[in-house]
Amino acid sequence: MTVTSPRTPAVASADQLSTAAEHTGPLRVGLLGCGVVGSQVARMILSRSDDVRARVGRPVELAGIAVAHPDRPRARLPQDLFTADAHALAARDDIDIVVEVIGGIDPAYELIMTAIEHGSSVVTANKALLAAHGHEIYAAADAHGVDVYYEAAVAGAIPIVRPLRESLVGDEIRRVMGIVNGTTNYILDKMTTEGVSFDRALSEAQRLGYAESDPTADVEGYDAAAKAAILASLAFHTRVRGTQVHREGITGITPEDIQAAQGMGCVIKLLAICEMEPEGVSVRVHPALVPQEHPLAGIRGANNAIFVEAREAGHLMFMGPGAGGSPTASAVMGDLVTVARNRARGVAGPPQAIFGDVPVASMGTVHTRFQLSIQVSDRPGILSQVASIFAKHGVSLQTVQQSALEGAGKEDGWSATLRMVVHETRESDFEACLAELAGSPIVNGEPRFIRVEGM
């Protein structure tokens, strides 16, 4: 998308920034959006002004708030700050920092580009936008010498963007594995602790305000995939878009899957996993079995957690609230103070550390472990036929467990469920094995499988 500017773009050149450094007047903030997060950001800018001034070295002033309905009364926020004209606010020459908390691609992309072209630094919580157009936005910010900060875009209040972008930039990240969607973690946790169905847990999540009335973005993994793309880009210094992330949601998880997981000493979590494979960066979001002793297994309710494996630092765990007005506003305020400090000193923060062009590896190249279950007849020779299919595809069995089949299929002679865990294998080999099992006359119906992580 090309953004046309109503005037010559105000590039924040070194000269301009050094002029800014000589100023002592207030830094002015334009806030785009005043919903659950935006209203908390506005409240914090106004109520914490003394602290913010002390930390920045200059006052930080709320100069305008763009909303769809500026006349709607809003408690404790001055009415004269509100405007319906978001574009005019983003383009204002007297604004230093634009905070975007509208969400979505349109009109957020155009507004952010307008702000950058007019020399404003940007703070955003917009994961969908950054996963789709982050690299165009970062390039524009670099060209105009301004900052783009986005701590709140991934895992709400949890500091993870800055640790990857700054604290760990001298290390080598090997893997990032996290629970980055609170709604799905709440649903899976409820299914685990109360044995309820997916539908029942989803209704409860909606009643409590975690899940939207259309829960697709959360339960089908789109929200987590956008965050995974941002994490992978940061961790591996390359370009990963949300559409390049392998994505599976949790709608197919049944109470029986949860019980089977518990029988193996595991819980089911929706994981976002970014890692370096020989063929490139692999980025995936899918439900997985996680051993109960793994730090991610203990993440309860709507919390998020991210487990980082770095060559020198070792294993690091970041955990906390991944959504909600105040927690997300805390992350936005951290960025706002950082960006304001940079402006006050006439500098820009570190550039996006994108210096590689590592390809995104296809899912078939990923190496992981699987648990699968099939229905078979409990007759002599069946297990050896099943085992030979695994052997043919080079997939090694670690454990095999047989139980009497209950329910559908039993009356037709399918008398046993075989539940197997395989050693780490290439996904494409496992898929070939699965396809042959599905087409085999000794297997009833489609095999069910789930990946196993963290063992």
The SS3 call for residue 200 is helix
Write the burial class of residue 158 (CB in 10 Å: 0-12 exposed, 13-18 middle, 19+ buried): buried
Quick check: 223 binds ligand HSE (CB under 6 A)?
Answer: yes
Quick check: 183 binds ligand HSE (CB under 6 A)?
Answer: yes
State which residue, 330 or 415, has the beta carbon closest to ligand HSE.
330
CB of 103 to ligand HSE, least distance (A): 9
186 near 201, Cβ under 8 Å?
yes
CB of 48 to ligand HSE, least distance (A): 23
**List 127, 227, 269, 410, catalytic entry:** 227
Which own/partner pairs from 291-295 qualify as long-range (CB within 8 Å, at least 24 positions apart)?
Answer: 291/265, 291/266, 291/454, 291/455, 292/265, 292/266, 292/267, 294/454, 294/455
CB of 128 to ligand HSE, least distance (A): 9
CA distances to 134, 173, 452 from 287, in Å: 26, 23, 9
State which residue, 90 or 225, has the beta carbon closest to ligand HSE.
225
Nearest to 193 by CA among 291, 295, 321, 297: 297
Please report which helix (H) or strand (E) contains residue 315, including its range: strand 314-321
Quick check: 181 binds ligand HSE (CB under 6 A)?
Answer: yes
What is the rounded distance in angstroms from the CA atom of residue 221 to the CA atom of residue 310?
26
What is the rounded distance in angstroms from the CA atom of residue 291 to the CA atom of residue 113?
44
State which residue, 145 or 215, has the beta carbon closest to ligand HSE.
215
In the numeric block, the tokens 């020989």 are attached to 278
Quick check: 322 binds ligand HSE (CB under 6 A)?
Answer: yes
CB of 159 to ligand HSE, least distance (A): 16
Quick check: 215 binds ligand HSE (CB under 6 A)?
Answer: no
Quick check: 100 binds ligand HSE (CB under 6 A)?
Answer: no
Considering only the stretches 42-50, 180-188, 424-432, 438-446, report the one whose residues sit in contact with ligand HSE under the rule CB under 6 A. 180-188
Q: Which segments of 353-441 does DSSP mark as H helices, in order?
A: 382-392, 427-439
CB of 309 to ligand HSE, least distance (A): 23
Considering only the stretches 63-71, 177-185, 245-253, 271-279, report the one whose residues sit in contact with ligand HSE under the rule CB under 6 A. 177-185
Q: Which amino acid belongs to residue 79?
A: Q
3 near 107, Cβ under 8 Å?
no
CB of 355 to ligand HSE, least distance (A): 28
Considering only the stretches 37-45, 178-186, 346-354, 425-433, report the one whose residues sit in contact with ligand HSE under the rule CB under 6 A. 178-186
CA distances to 224, 226, 227, 449 from 277, in Å: 21, 20, 20, 22
Near ligand HSE by CB under 6 A: residue from 96, 117, 147, 218: 218
State which residue, 178 or 182, has the beta carbon closest to ligand HSE.
182
Quick check: 275 binds ligand HSE (CB under 6 A)?
Answer: no
CA distances to 26, 115, 125, 387 from 337, in Å: 13, 18, 15, 60
Near ligand HSE by CB under 6 A: residue from 119, 182, 242, 287: 182
State which residue, 101 or 112, has the beta carbon closest to ligand HSE.
101
CB of 218 to ligand HSE, least distance (A): 5
What is the rounded distance in angstroms from the CA atom of residue 171 to the CA atom of residue 3?
37
Write the burial class of residue 429 (CB in 10 Å: 0-12 exposed, 13-18 middle, 19+ buried): middle
State which residue, 39 or 181, has the beta carbon closest to ligand HSE.
181
Active site (annotated) includes residue 227: yes
Catalytic residue numbers read 227
Chain positions contacting ligand HSE, by CB under 6 A? 181-183, 210, 218, 223, 322-323
